[in-house]
Structure formats: C-alpha cells, structure tokens
Amino acid sequence: MPHVTTGTRGEQHPPRDGRRWGVGAGLGLLVVGAALGFGELAAGLLRVTSPVVTVGDALVDNSPQFLMSWAIALFGTADKAVLVIGVLIVLILSGAALGVVASRRPVAGYVGLGLFTAVGLAAVALRRADDLGAATAVVVGGVAGTVALALLLRSLGPAPSRAQGSGPDAEPKHETDTDRAAEAGSEKDTEPNRGPRARGDAPGVPQAGPDAGPGRRGFVLTAAGVLAASGTAGALGRTLPSLLGGAGTGIQLALPAPASPLPALPSGVDLGVPGLAPFTTPNTDFYRIDTALTVPRPDPARWTLRVHGMVDRPFEIDMNELLSRDLVEADITLACVSNQVGGDLVGNTRWLGFPLADLLREAGVRSGADQILSTSSDGWTCGTPTEVVMDGRDALLAVGMGGEPLPHEHGYPARMVVPGLYGFVSATKWVTDIKLTRFADEQAYWAQRGWGVRAPIKTMSRIDVPSPLGRVESGEVVLAGVAWAQHTGVAGVEVRVDDGDWWEAELAEVPGIDTWVQWVAETTVGPGNHAVEVRATDATGFTQPSERVDPIPDGATGWHRIRFTAT
C-alpha cells in the first residue's frame, strides 16, 4: 500500500515502495556494520573477545548436546566456520529488518538496537572470560549502531517527507565489515543533538515538511561516511592487537633446553611405508579440537597459572618462572574422545614441559581432592583425576611440542598433557587456572554435557594402508597402520583379510608405553574387492572388542575395517 504522497515528482508508487524497502534494508545493514566495526575496534583496543565471537561462543556453550553432536557430525571440524557464518547471516537479516522498520518508525529501530545489545551482553554474561572488557566492546558497538542509525535517519529526513521523493534511490552497498564481528546495540538512545542542522530524527518526533532532510545526496554521503568509518574501525580492530605488539602477536617464547633431555627416537619407530602416518606428527598436521571460535592468544608476558583450591599452599607461577624450572621431555600420543574408529583425531609428538605432579606437590594437595579442575584463558574447563596425574606418569604442564613452542592452536603458551587420558579430561590448552576440588562438587565443561568423567584412552588400532576404498595391484600387498594403548603399551596387532584367519602384524619400535606404534603386514590377494580388519592387544593382554560403540560418553570401540580393490 503506497503512501500518500504530497509531493509531486510524478513517480510511481510501487517502485518507490520497493525502493524504500531497499533503502531501509541498506540503512539497517549500515547500522549493523557500524555496530560490528566499532565493537571490533573496542575489542581490539581492549584485547578482548570480539562481540560476534562472544555470541558464537555462548551459542556453542549453551547448545543442547544433540545439536552439538549433530553439527559436529554434519560439518566435522568446519563446524566453527559454519557457526560464524550462521551468526553473520542472522545479523544481516535482522539488520535489514531493523532498517526497514526504523526507516518508518525510528523508535522501533532504537529498541531493536537495544535488543541486539542485550543479546550481546547476555552472551558475555554466559561466558566466564574477560567479562568487563567484552561487555564494553558490546556496548561500544551498540552506541556506534545508535549513532549511525540517528545519522542515517536524519539524512533521510523525517518519515512523511521521505515519501516525497526526497529518499535516495541508491541502495547502500554491502557492508564489508559485516563479516567481522559484533552483536550490537545500545540500551538507550544516547544520541545527542547534532548541530544546527539536526532535526526531527529523535524517536517519535517525526516532522513534516517538504525539505525536511538533506535528501538523497545527503543520505548517500552519510551512508558512505558510515560505511567508511565502520570499515576502518573494523579493520583497525582486527589488526590492532598485532600492531600494538606484545600480546598475541606471535610466538616469542624462547624455550630453554630440557634439563633432562630424552634420547633421540629409535630409528625403527618409522617403518617408512608410503601412506602410513609418520611416528611423529608434524605440528602443522596435528589435529585440533576445542570449543574456541577464535584461537585464544594469551600474552606469555602476562600469563600466569594459578594453583589453588584444596591445597595447603596456593600459588601463582608466571612464564619466566616456569621456563626457569627444570623442564623435561616426554613422547605422548594425544587422542580425542570423539575420534571414530579409523579416525584421525589422534597425533603423537615429543612434548616439553614441567611435571604437573611436582607442581601439585609444591601446592600440597589435600586429601579428598580427587579432581584437578583446570580452566583455559577462554573459560573452558576440564576435570582430571588427581590420582592419575600423581601416579608417576609423565603428566606435563607443557610449553613445547615437536621441538617448538606450542603453536597458538595447540595451547600457547602453556597447556596440560596427560598420557593415557583423552584430551577432554586432561589436555587443557591455554591453561591459566588449576583448582584442586572434588568430582562430587564441580563438573567440567564436557561432564556437564553428558560426557564421561574418568576417560582413559581405549586401546585402538587403525589401517592407513591401503587407503579406504583404495586400489592396489593384485599379488603382494602391504597393509600398515598405527595402534595405541597409552600408558599400557601395545603388545600385538593382528590383521585379517576377507574375514579369514587373524595373523600377527609386525610392530615398529617405540620409545615407551605412552605413544602409538606403527604396524605392517604383508599378504597376497587376487584381483577383486577385499576387506581388511585390524585389532590390537595391549600389554595387559586385553584385546580391543569388535563391538561398535559410539564416542559418547567415553570413547569409541570396534575394529577398523576398510575395503580396497586389487587390479
């Protein structure tokens, strides 16, 4: 229903109505862009999580388990990208809607921005990390959105006159900064009166009058200004942390040599079979699993680890002090509880760090403190059985892996690693807090979501060669893979082809009982389709069961079976 036009430019109503929608949507996108851009700038200056990421994180943390599992199953490790894109799509759609509404009823626009801000603040409240700074970034974004809305509405002129052909026909172009981050809005319209030309853009004060707004040119200019300002703010916010140097720019830790270095790996750890996972996983290939949407980058210069809770002598240790300690090395294979049979969420490397047990002994663990509750800089929590860490195994507060400082993705500047336990109950990255407590008193992140509490890594084996559904030449065929039974050791690996008899594979060397082991076997097959199966037996004589069990709550079981074709 076209508006009554009092002006007479002889334009058709329907196009104008469509155009007004377009202008409104564009205006809304600019407003959201301003909120995102300035929210990003504030986050960059304060070195806190950006508002959009905070919202995404809160969504991750608070989605029901089934949704999480569904997302992980559907998108795999791309689930984070999908989530961020989803948040942005919602922002773009609601921004456009907000603009359409606001261009007719300014008050509704300001209320909408207030809702955006409230969502952002709620997300901050749901997270534990950098509360005040993150909230400030949200509010800054909200204020910026409000200012942008007021400026744009003013340039459009008061509502009634807008229908008079004073509206622009140019649709503001796309935001470049909507793909940054920030949920935004402001509680109140903090819009001050703006100079002599300021007119009735205040909520609920529509003014009539033929030349009420600066008109189309004014709008386009204002839009361009808002766009440029938000784009610049967003870009600055993104680059500031690294420009400012120091925090999170890169890896500046110079790792000391270990006080007690391990001997070089035996040469026989690698069988050198093409296609077989190397014994040592390069850092760049190491699987990454965490709930963080953006990789946390704690500044090692400001990093501290607090050890407290049920201890006699709580203390804090900083990076200088940690690095001045006698560091040790350990070869440990880390595995994710979500790893499916045959999956690749497992990797092996040489870690450098300080023994966790020594650290806890300094604090003096009180009896009854059966849980080590560790927290990362981004608020993720992990519960590890105290007795496991204290039983003499090489549980580490690690600062290095693969001969380098931990990469950011793997917990720089410090993380935990406990041989024999799945990562979700042991391997806290970006760790900043260790609290001794009771399992009965406090639950960690995944435990709250129905996953296991004590989760030793299950004995497992995998076929890497031939590749699943791969083609090989008939005749002599090489079968190879890896097997693991951390902190117990693999005693044997058996294979069978086409459901025939099991036979023993040959095992490579290992430096200890905390790593995986490569295995290889040879057989002869004729042309056609074949199936290979593998199973490992650990040093206690326990053979992994054939029964297929899902990863949740404490790890998958079953024999890995692949098919290949011989030609």
Ligand X SMILES: Nc1nc2c(c(=O)[nH]1)N[C@H]1C(S)=C(S)[C@@H](COP(=O)(O)O)O[C@H]1N2
Q: Which residues bind Mo ion (CB under 5 A)?
A: 289, 336, 423-424
d(CA 36, CA 28): 12
Q: Mask 319-338, x = binds ligand X (CB under 6 A)?
A: ---------------x-x--
Residue 428 found at the interface with ligand X (CB under 6 A): yes
Residue 484 found at the interface with ligand X (CB under 6 A): no
Taking the complex as a whole, the smallest distance from the CB of residue 289 to Mo ion amounts, in Å, to: 4
DSSP string, 257-324: PPSBPPPPPPGGG----TTSPPSSPPGGGS----S-SS-----TTT-EEEEEESBSS-EEEEHHHHHH
Taking the complex as a whole, the smallest distance from the CB of residue 515 to ligand X amounts, in Å, to: 15
Q: What is the DSSP letter of 163?
A: I
Among 110, 380, 516, 564, binds ligand X (CB under 6 A): 380
Residue 424 found at the interface with ligand X (CB under 6 A): yes
Taking the complex as a whole, the smallest distance from the CB of residue 420 to Mo ion amounts, in Å, to: 14
Q: Please identify, using beta-carbon distances, which residue of 80 and 174 lies nearer to ligand X.
A: 80
Taking the complex as a whole, the smallest distance from the CB of residue 422 to Mo ion amounts, in Å, to: 6
- Beta 475-484 vs 517-525: how paired, if at all? antiparallel
Q: Please identify, using beta-carbon distances, which residue of 139 and 335 lies nearer to ligand X.
A: 335
Q: Please identify, using beta-carbon distances, which residue of 116 and 424 lies nearer to Mo ion.
A: 424
Taking the complex as a whole, the smallest distance from the CB of residue 469 to ligand X amounts, in Å, to: 27
d(CA 92, CA 431): 35
Taking the complex as a whole, the smallest distance from the CB of residue 312 to ligand X amounts, in Å, to: 27
- At position 118, the amino acid (one-letter code) is A
Tokens of 98: 């907000």
Between 131-156 and 13-46, two packed helices, what is the crossing angle to 10 degrees? Answer: 150
- Beta 560-566 vs 528-538: how paired, if at all? antiparallel
* Helix, strand, coil share of the chain (percent; to 5): 35, 20, 40
Q: Which residue is nearest to ligand X (CB)?
A: 423
Q: Please identify, using beta-carbon distances, which residue of 219 and 351 lies nearer to ligand X.
A: 351
Taking the complex as a whole, the smallest distance from the CB of residue 79 to Mo ion amounts, in Å, to: 13
- Beta 431-437 vs 371-376: how paired, if at all? antiparallel
Note whether 68 and 551 are within 8 A (CB): no
Q: Please identify, using beta-carbon distances, which residue of 230 and 338 lies nearer to Mo ion.
A: 338
Taking the complex as a whole, the smallest distance from the CB of residue 362 to ligand X amounts, in Å, to: 23
Residue 69 found at the interface with ligand X (CB under 6 A): no
Q: Please identify, using beta-carbon distances, which residue of 143 and 345 lies nearer to ligand X.
A: 345
# residues contacting ligand X (CB under 6 A):
18
Q: Please identify, using beta-carbon distances, which residue of 88 and 292 lies nearer to ligand X.
A: 292
Q: Which does 166 bind (CB under 5 to 8 A by kind): Mo ion, ligand X, none?
A: none
Residue 83 found at the interface with ligand X (CB under 6 A): no
Q: Which does 286 bind (CB under 5 to 8 A by kind): ligand X, Mo ion, none?
A: ligand X
DSSP string, 99-135: HHHHHH-HHHHHHHHHHHHHHHHHHHHHS-TTHHHHH
Of 89, 85, 102, give the one whose Cα is nearest residue 26: 102
Q: Please identify, using beta-carbon distances, which residue of 336 and 463 lies nearer to ligand X.
A: 336
d(CA 358, CA 379): 25
Q: Which does 516 bind (CB under 5 to 8 A by kind): Mo ion, ligand X, none?
A: none
Residue 427 found at the interface with ligand X (CB under 6 A): yes
- At position 433, the amino acid (one-letter code) is D
Segment 262 to 301, residues that bind ligand X, using CB under 6 A: 286-292
Which range of residues in 51-59, 120-128, 197-205, 428-436 is near ligand X by CB under 6 A?
428-436
Q: Please identify, using beta-carbon distances, which residue of 141 and 296 lies nearer to ligand X.
A: 296
Q: Please identify, using beta-carbon distances, which residue of 146 and 384 lies nearer to ligand X.
A: 384
Residue 127 found at the interface with ligand X (CB under 6 A): no
495 CB neighbour count, 10 Å cutoff = 24
Among 110, 303, 430, 519, binds ligand X (CB under 6 A): 430
Cβ density class 192-221: b for 16+ within 10 Å, e for less: eeeeeeebbbbbeebeeeeebbbbbebbbe
Residue 429 found at the interface with ligand X (CB under 6 A): yes
d(CA 396, CA 417): 5
Taking the complex as a whole, the smallest distance from the CB of residue 336 to Mo ion amounts, in Å, to: 3
d(CA 375, CA 232): 35
Instruction: Please list, in sequence order, all residues whose beta carbon lies within 8 angstroms of the beta carbon of residue 300, skipping any fewer than 6 positions away.
Output: 252, 253, 319, 412, 413
Q: Please identify, using beta-carbon distances, which residue of 56 and 423 lies nearer to ligand X.
A: 423
d(CA 60, CA 95): 22
Q: Which residues bind ligand X (CB under 6 A)?
A: 286-292, 334, 336, 376, 380, 410, 423-424, 427-430
